[in-house]
Amino acid sequence: MKLNRKVFIPILLVALIIIMGITQASNIKRMYLNIIKKPDENGMYTYNDNYFKSIYPLNDKSVLRFSNKLNTLYDTFLSDDMNVYYAIIPDKTYYDKDSMYKTLDYDKMIEMLNQNIDNIEYIDLKDSLNLNDYFKTDNHWKQDKIFDALNKLGETLGFTIDKSNFEENSYDSFVGMYKNYINDSKVKEELVYMFNKYIDNAFVDNYQNNDFHSIYDVEKLNSEIPYDIYLSGATPFVTVTNKLAKTDKELIIFRDSFSSSLTPLIISEYSKITLIDLRYMMSTVLNDFIEFDNQDVLFLYSSAVVNNSTMLK
């Protein structure tokens, strides 16, 4: 059957107009959502039962300040014969690809860091994590979900961690740091803390708590910050020693709270792990606490800290 050109061309034009209209409407809707969909006055928003705190926009000055901080620490305390690395943990908003809220430009942050940090090797973690690896009611990652990221670090640091070598304990009434923004009292989730013989035999020396020497402070589960079960929470200086370690290597982690849940999983690989939190101690006094001598060094920070680096002393 041969189509009449006089009929076909108008039909084609109408179809094109409809398609263009749909596309334009979609673009207008997206522009509208970008303007209207903003977090509340506290930076909070929810999507698919996840609670997020926006750290948008990217603070270029803070990123450069962070770069300079790492360079200064390297020049002051470290040396070329040490293995020194850095990795940046994406904020969980990075994995929110569907809600239409504006999120921090993590990729630009990493580009800036790589351009400005000298002598320190970068380890990319972003493809080793996803939204399900983070708590719904908190900004932190889940200890039992970070083995891909952990072994991404291990590819460079020289270890492989098998999840099957751990046993799990769980607490099913966890509500994280966003609890004050959650109206439904029924919202709870599971927190897992993992054990093996290395964790059981580790000795923790906490600068602020000389009376507690275990990896997990279970009483913290009933505190205002239950995530503090991991290494008793925020503190400036912690060492973890392990007489059962597979090697005599030592590791120094310049860190924030994310490392509290990661560190127990790598105790088997180091005779001593030193955790330094420069949010709570001055870098100028480090030589009073530690001798830098051929340890492996990892700067492991969340993108929220990089975007607000004035907190590093």
pLDDT digits (tens, 9 = 90+) for 48-102: 999 999 999 999 999 999 999 999 999 999 999 899 999 999 999 999 999 999 9
The answer to whether 146 and 133 have CB atoms below 8 angstroms apart is: yes
pLDDT for res 25? 47
pLDDT of 263 > 60? The answer is yes
Confidence (pLDDT) at 216: 98
pLDDT digits (tens, 9 = 90+) for 121-165: 999 999 999 999 999 999 999 999 999 999 999 999 999 999 999
- Percent of the chain surpassing pLDDT 70: 88
pLDDT given for residue 208 in this prediction = 87
Token duo for residue 303: 């993108």
Is the pLDDT reported for residue 7 higher than 60? no
Domain range list for the chain: 1-36, 44-311
Summarised one tens digit per residue, pLDDT across range 203-248 is 999 998 888 899 999 999 999 999 999 999 999 999 999 999 889 9
pLDDT at 17 over 70: no
Amino acid at 119: N
Closest CA to 248 of 222, 265, 269, 274: 269
Structure tokens that stand for 81 in this block: 């014969």
Q: Are 215 and 237 in contact (CB under 8 A)?
A: no
- The whole-angstrom separation of Cα 185 and Cα 161 is 37
Return the pLDDT at 186: 86
SS3 13: helix
Greatest Cα pair distance, the chain, in angstroms, is 91
